Structure 1
C-alpha cells in the first residue's frame, strides 16, 4: 500500500517494483534503481501539472474548490454548472480575440501605440532587401524576433551592424515568415504580472549564466549547474536546464568566448541575450520596488489588449523610476504567462500568484460546488437514488444522477449499464448543465477507484447486509460495512450522514464520521432512533399509521402518509418505505419545502422505465408477473415482506450470481422455499465462474432444508422459464422473476407478453 500524487506514476512505480522482485526471484540482476527512478519521474512530469497549473490548483484547494482533470487534459475547478476551466494561465474567461492580439506582435504594438503606451520603434518585414533601409531608419542597436514567436525563441539582441542584422533576420525567419525589427531598448528585462487588470507581481529577469571557479570550463560549469534539483526539462521544475546550443555559441562569440573558456573565479558569464526562464534564465522579485506610474502603465496595457491574465515584458534601466524618465518600454504582452518566476524567484520574496487568479474566477466564499447526495448500501440504493433525483428535479433543479442502470442528466439517459462507480460520478460532476447531483456508490467502484468526488453534502446509507462476500478481499459483513463507510466519511463537516437506525452496521457508522448524523427508521419505537431524538438529533420516521415525520432536533414536522407514495404499494412494500424515508430527510436538508417533498414523492410512479427491477408488475394472459432485482438473501427477504400481503399462489423463478459463497446460495434457496408455492431455477447469461450444476445443487439444498421433498424445475433459459411459468400458472396467480440484470429480463418478459397478444 502506497500513496501517490499522480496515478500513472504510482502504477509505474508498482510495475517496476514487481519487475525488480521477479528479477531477484529468478536470480537475475534487477533494473538499476536510478534508471527506475528516472522512468517514474518521466511519467510523473508527463501526466502531472506544470508549475503554473499547480500554483492555480493549489490556490483552488486552499479555498476548498474541487480540482479534476477533464477531457483532453484540461483542468476543471468546481462541479457542474459552477465549474470553471483553465489551461495553464488561460481561464475560460480569457478573451479569444485578446489572445489573438497578444500573439500577433504587430497588432499588439498597434493597440499599445493607439493608447500612447511606451513601445520601441520597429518595422515588420519579410524581405532581406528591406533590412538596410530599416536599419537606416531605426539606427543601431537593433533586435530581431519572429512575428509569432514565444519564450524568447530565435530572438537576437544587441545587433550593431548589418552583418549581425542579417544573421538575426535569418534566425527569426526559421520560425516566422514575417520578422519584427525593433530599436533595442537599453536596460534590464522585467516581467510584470497583471490579473483582472490589477498589478500583482514583478520580476527582474536575468539571462542564463554561470559563475566561474577558475578551474572549470563554461561547458563544465553549465553541466554542474544543470545538476541543481531546481532545474528540469522544459517547464517541469522551478528553473529550466541550460542548453549549450547554436544561440549560446553565437552569444559567446560576440563576447570573444567559447564553451571551452575557463572563467576566472567569481566571473559571471551570460550565455544568452534573452532572459526567458524557458531558456535557463533566473528571476528576482521586484514587486515592492516598482514605481507606481509603471504599475499604471502595465494595468492600462492589460486593459488595452483585453487580457484577464497577462504577463507584460518591459525593458527599463531602472524599474523604480517612471518609464517616461528613463526610456523604458513595453516589448511584449503575453497571454498564458508562466507563473513560476513569481512563486520561485532566485532572489527576493515569493509571491502566491495562483490565489489572485482563483479570486478572479470565483467570488468570495464561492467554492464552485453543487449539492451532492451520495447513496450507498447493500439493497435499495438505486431506488433511493431515483427517488432523490426525482424530488430534486421536482423542486426545479437540473439533476444528474448515476445508478446501476445508467447515467442520467435531466430526463435523458446518456449512458446505459452499471454506472455506480467513480467515472460515472465524474461524468455528472463535469457536466456544465447539472446543478444537483445524486450519485449511487457501489462497493465495486469504491474498492477499485474510490469515489468520483472529494466530498458530498449528504450521504445516505440504506443498509448493509451479506452480498458479494469473498470477493476483492471482502469476507465478512463487517468488511463490507468498512467499504460502505467510505461514503458517509466523505460528507463535509457541516454536511449530513443519514443512517438506517434499523440496521446495526449502518447505525455504527455514526462513530466514524466527522459530519452531523441523522437517522431514519420505519419503526418509530426503534431504540437507537428514540435515543438519538432524545439527545436532540435529527431524524425521519414513520408511525404505526405510516405517517412520516421529520424531527429537526426540537419538534416534529408531518410530511405525508407513506400510502400516498405509489412506490410503497399502499405501504405494503416495507423495503420501499425504508428507501423513501432518507430521501425525505435529504431533501429537507437540501432546503426543499416539505410540501414540495410530499408532492414529488406522490408523483413518482414506479414502472419498468423509472424503477427497472423494483417490483415491476405486468399482466400476461391473466397471470400477474413481477420482475424484481432481489439477487441476495437480504433483498429476497425484503421482497418476501411485500409478497406476504398477496394471498394468491406464487411461482418463483430464481437464480443467483455465481460469484456468491456456497452459504449465500443455500440461504437464498431457503428463503425462496419459504416464499413460493412453485420454484423454477434458471441461469444468468454470465455464470461468474460457477457451473449450472453447482448453482442447481446449492439452491436445491436450500430448498430441501425448508421443504423436504419439495419438487422444483430447472429451465436454464430465462425466456423459456417465464413462458413455461405463465403457461402453467393458475389465472390470477403470480409469477415472480428474480433478475440480476433487470433491464435484460424486462426485455425478455416483454417478448413473452407478445406471444399472448393476438
Structure 2
C-alpha cells in the first residue's frame, strides 16, 4: 500500500472578528495536499469505510448538497482531502462538546493548495482540534489502525475546559447574545464585558459591576449578616461565635440542642455540620469548620430541607431544593465503594463546573466523616446488607422548586438581599415546605451569598431548567432603555484611497456633535482627539481597546482589506459601514488575491456587518462599489462627483451626497440642498464625500457638517 506524506499545514490564522468567510471568529488554514491532490476520497482504497467507522456521524454532516448526509455522498463520489480535514475537525469539536456547524474549503490558484476555514470560538481550542484532526486523518489515509478517536476527543475537550468560559458565565453571555448584546472576554477566566464603551457592563460569573463591594463584604461575614437580617425582621437562627471547641459546646448549651457548626466566612457549604446533639459531635465539628474559615459559628439547628433561592435585581427568579444522599449496604463493599457505585456514578456529578453536583469523597470531607462517625462508621467500614447509611445532608441542592415558592417566602428573601445590599444573591434557607411562610414552620434564612453559582438552576436534577441569565441581562440592560443592546455607534471605513484622512475627518465631525469619540486608524489610537498610542491601529487587537474604554461613546475604525483578511474586524456589527474603493489587490498576493475583481468579496465584509437601523455609505463613482449595496441590512447613502450614478438611487427616494467641484449637495430623493461653507473646502473629494456622508447618515445636521468641514484643517494641524 502506498504511504502518503502528511498534508502540509502552511499557515494557520485565527480571525478574531467578521472576515471574508463568516460574521464570527474562525480559524483559517492554508494547506498543501502534495501528491494527495491526485487522490480524492474515492480513489483511496478502503479510506471512506475506515473514516466513517472511526467517526460515524461524519456521514450525516451537511455539505454542498444542502441536506443531512450530504458529506457522506461527497465522500463516496470523491472529494479532496482538504475538504475531508475540515469535516474531521468539525466532528472532533462536536464530540468534545463545542458544536460547530460552519466550515468551508476552497482551492487557490496554486495546484494542491487549499484554504480551509472553520468556526472557532477560541484560538487554542481550534488549534487543538486542527492538530488532532490532522493526525487522525493521516492515520486513516495510510491505514495505520487502530486510531484512538477517544484520545483525540479528550485532548480537544481538555483544551475546552482550560480555555472556555465556566457554565454560569457562558449562560449569561449566551442570553446577552440572544439580545444582540456584544461581548468581549477580558481575561483567561470569567471576566467578561457585555456591550461597548460607555454602555458596557462587566460580569464575573454571577457578579456584576453593580455588585457592591461593601455588600459582598457583609455577605462574607455570616455573623454580621445574621444580625442585620434579624434587625429588619428576617427569621434567622440564633447563634454565637466560638473561638475554641470548648466555647462551641458552651454556645450549644446556651442555644439548645441540636445545633449547626459552620465557618463564619465559608462558602458552598464547606465545613458545615448539621444536627449536632452531643459535646463530642460539636467539638469535632468545630475542628472541621475552623479549617474552612476565619471564625466558627454555632447556630440553632433548623429542621427541614435546604433551599437555594436566586435573587436578581430584588426579585426571586429561581429556587432549588436539596435532599439527603444515602447509600444502602450490601455486606460486601465499604462505604467509600458504595458511594462510588451508588452516588458518584450519577453523570451529573464530576470535578468541573459543568457538573451540577460534586463527586463525594468521604475520606476527604470532614462533614461526611462526622456524619459517618455518628452512625458508628468510617469510610472503610462495610455496612450490613440492607442498612441505609446517611452520607450527606442537603448536599444535593438540585431539585427545581421555583413554582412552589410562597409569596411571603419570596418577600422575606428579597428583603434579606436588599438588607445586605447585593444586586445578585444566592439565599440559603431551611424549611420543611417552601410553599408555606417561614414563621409558621420555624424556617429560617441561614446565608446570603454574593456571586452565586447558577448551575443548580440551569441543570436541575429534577424539574425545569431556569434561564436565569435572562434576568441578569435584563438587570444590566433593560429592554425599554435606549442602551438596551449595550452598543455605542461604530463607524467602519474600508478602502485604500485616503482612508486614514476619511477616518480622521469622520471622527472630527462626530466629536463636534458632542460625542466622546474613539478613533483607530493608521496614525494611531485616539481618544477625544488625543493620541494614546502611535501604533498602527488598523490592527484589530489594538483597535478593540476602544471598545473596552469606558470613556468612549462613539468610535471610528479604519479597516483595510489586509485587516479583514489577516485578522477580521475588531467589532461584530457597526452602525455605519463605508467602502470608498476596491483598490489594493496588488498588495494581497499572500492571500491569493491578484485581480481587482476579487476585491468586492473582501470589502463587502464591511457592509455585511451594518446593523438594520444603520447605513452603508458607498462610492457611486465606482459601479463595483455601489453594487455592494445589496449586502447591507441597513439603508444606503451613495456619494459621487457625477450626478448620473446617483439618479436611480435618488429616484427611489434614497439619500445621496454629490460634489460638483465647488459645492456639496445633500440629496434626499429628488430634493437637494447645498451645504453652506465659509470657504471652499481644501480637502479632496475622496476624503470629503465619504466622511460627510457617514456623519450625515449618523444624523448630524447640515450646520454641524459645515462647521466641521470649516474647522477640520485647523484641528488636523494642531
The interval holding the TM-score normalised by the smaller chain is 0.7 to 0.9
Change (3 A) 1:435 1:332: same
Question: Is the contact between residue 216 and residue 450 of structure 2 (CA under 8 Å) also seen in structure 1?
Answer: yes
Partner secondary structure for residue 100 of structure 1? helix
Partner secondary structure for residue 288 of structure 1? helix
Partner secondary structure for residue 186 of structure 1? coil
Structure 2: how far apart are the matches of 1:215 and 1:484? 72
The 5-angstrom pairing of residues 202-221 of structure 1 reads 202-208=319-325, 219=337
Deviations 1:183-220 (A, max 9, x none): 21110000112112222222112355568999987636
Corresponding residue of 2:628: 509
Structure 2: how far apart are the matches of 1:223 and 1:552? 75
Q: Does 1:41 align with 2:157?
A: yes
Change (3 A) 1:539 1:261: farther
Corresponding residue of 2:703: 595
Question: Is the contact between residue 547 and residue 562 of structure 1 (CA under 8 Å) also seen in structure 2?
Answer: no
Structure 2: how far apart are the matches of 1:52 and 1:455? 25
Structure 2: how far apart are the matches of 1:482 and 1:591? 29
Change (3 A) 1:307 1:523: same
Question: Is the contact between residue 403 and residue 420 of structure 1 (CA under 8 Å) also seen in structure 2?
Answer: yes
Change (3 A) 1:52 1:209: farther
- What TM-score does the superposition give when structure 2 sets the normalisation length? 0.77
Question: Is the contact between residue 157 and residue 274 of structure 1 (CA under 8 Å) also seen in structure 2?
Answer: no
Q: Return the index of the structure with the highest Cα Rg.
A: 1
Q: Does 1:492 align with 2:611?
A: yes
- What TM-score does the superposition give when structure 1 sets the normalisation length? 0.73
Corresponding residue of 1:306: 421
Q: Does 1:350 align with 2:465?
A: yes
1:581, distance to aligned residue in structure 2 (A): 0.8
Corresponding residue of 1:144: 261
The 5-angstrom pairing of residues 125-164 of structure 1 reads 125-164=242-281
Match of 2:591 among 447, 453, 472: 472
Question: Is the contact between residue 637 and residue 697 of structure 2 (CA under 8 Å) also seen in structure 1?
Answer: no
Question: Is the contact between residue 371 and residue 437 of structure 1 (CA under 8 Å) also seen in structure 2?
Answer: yes
Structure 2: how far apart are the matches of 1:10 and 1:215? 48
Corresponding residue of 1:619: none
Corresponding residue of 2:183: 67
Corresponding residue of 1:194: 311
Over aligned residues, Cα RMSD in angstroms? 2.8
Change (3 A) 1:177 1:80: closer
Corresponding residue of 2:489: 371
1:368, distance to aligned residue in structure 2 (A): 1.4
Q: Does 1:79 align with 2:199?
A: no
Match of 2:687 among 579, 582, 589: 579
Corresponding residue of 2:410: 295
1:491, distance to aligned residue in structure 2 (A): 0.3
Change (3 A) 1:503 1:30: farther
Match of 2:518 among 395, 400, 407: 400
Corresponding residue of 1:555: 671
Change (3 A) 1:251 1:109: same
Corresponding residue of 1:754: none
Change (3 A) 1:482 1:590: same
Structure 2: how far apart are the matches of 1:549 and 1:215? 93
1:122, distance to aligned residue in structure 2 (A): 1.0
Q: Does 1:327 align with 2:460?
A: no
Structure 2: how far apart are the matches of 1:503 and 1:271? 76
Deviations 1:298-348 (A, max 9, x none): 111111111111111000111111111110001000111112212222112
1:546, distance to aligned residue in structure 2 (A): 2.7
Structure 1: how far apart are the matches of 2:672 and 2:497? 28
Question: 5+ residue gaps in structure 1?
Answer: 276-280, 569-575, 611-758
Structure 2: how far apart are the matches of 1:428 and 1:285? 42
Structure 2: how far apart are the matches of 1:215 and 1:504? 84
Question: Is the contact between residue 152 and residue 274 of structure 1 (CA under 8 Å) also seen in structure 2?
Answer: no
Change (3 A) 1:253 1:516: same
Corresponding residue of 2:546: 428
Corresponding residue of 2:169: 53
Change (3 A) 1:430 1:134: same
Change (3 A) 1:494 1:204: same
1:139, distance to aligned residue in structure 2 (A): 2.3
User: Which stretch of the first structure deviates more once superposed, 311-320 or 230-239?
Assistant: 230-239
Q: Does 1:251 align with 2:371?
A: yes
Corresponding residue of 1:179: 296
Corresponding residue of 1:525: 644
Question: Is the contact between residue 608 and residue 631 of structure 2 (CA under 8 Å) also seen in structure 1?
Answer: yes
Change (3 A) 1:408 1:246: same
Deviations 1:718-742 (A, max 9, x none): xxxxxxxxxxxxxxxxxxxxxxxxx
User: Which stretch of the first structure deviates more once superposed, 237-246 or 17-26?
Assistant: 17-26
1:549, distance to aligned residue in structure 2 (A): 1.3
Structure 2: how far apart are the matches of 1:59 and 1:268? 43
Structure 1: how far apart are the matches of 2:426 and 2:440? 23
1:493, distance to aligned residue in structure 2 (A): 1.7
1:498, distance to aligned residue in structure 2 (A): 0.9
Change (3 A) 1:268 1:76: farther
Question: 5+ residue gaps in structure 2?
Answer: 1-116
1:295, distance to aligned residue in structure 2 (A): 1.2
Change (3 A) 1:208 1:11: farther
Change (3 A) 1:138 1:518: same
Structure 1: how far apart are the matches of 2:147 and 2:518? 48
Structure 1: how far apart are the matches of 2:698 and 2:404? 50
1:246, distance to aligned residue in structure 2 (A): 2.8
Partner secondary structure for residue 135 of structure 1? helix
Question: Is the contact between residue 398 and residue 436 of structure 1 (CA under 8 Å) also seen in structure 2?
Answer: yes
Partner secondary structure for residue 41 of structure 1? helix
Q: Does 1:15 align with 2:15?
A: no
Structure 2: how far apart are the matches of 1:264 and 1:506? 81
Q: Does 1:441 align with 2:559?
A: yes
Change (3 A) 1:242 1:533: farther
The 5-angstrom pairing of residues 673-688 of structure 1 reads none
1:357, distance to aligned residue in structure 2 (A): 1.4
